[in-house]
Structure 1
Amino acid sequence: MSALSQFRNFTQRLPQTDLMPTIFIGHGSPMNGIEHNEFSESWVDLAKNIPVPKAVLVVSAHWYTHGTFVTAMDFPSTIHDFGGFPSTF
């Protein structure tokens, strides 16, 4: 079964709900999501003002491939493409 078929099967099982907002979150430095700063504060405020999603679609340019691909699974593995974090994290 192709990845696109798996994604279609996954999404068809989800119950119909109200539309959610489309949100672009450019993380810049990954530290923006770890440290307490204006970015992380605005993400907390955003989360308080939208419903809890049942699924999340993430579109990422962090792939070095030819073509368009879909990953459809409950808990995809994390791809770490940054380094040099402080040792306290």
Structure 2
Amino acid sequence: MAAAIALAMEDFRPLGSRPVQEATALEACLLRRDAFEVMASPGPDGVVFVRFLFNPDVCALSSPVLDAGATYAVDVKGGRILAVQ
């Protein structure tokens, strides 16, 4: 599970990602790894499904944010991402 989450997170929000200087508070928040909750569940044949859900409370945003997360299908044995939605 941990390996699948780490692989998906590195694709979703690579370490060292920084907002551009003119970024809004929302744009800067969306680049923060800690602004996303993570859920993972095992699937068939060694596949793990990893989902990132945006938590606006982390950045105290006043406007709603829709569709800021992603779901990954990760082949843990092969160390690769099979699909992203």
Q: Under a length normalisation based on structure 1, what TM-score does the superposition of the two structures give?
A: 0.24
Higher relative contact order (Cα pairs below 8 Å, separated by 6+ residues): 1
Instruction: From the two aligned structures, give the one with the greater strand fraction.
Output: 2
Q: Under a length normalisation based on structure 2, what TM-score does the superposition of the two structures give?
A: 0.24
Q: Which structure's CA Rg is the greater one?
A: 1
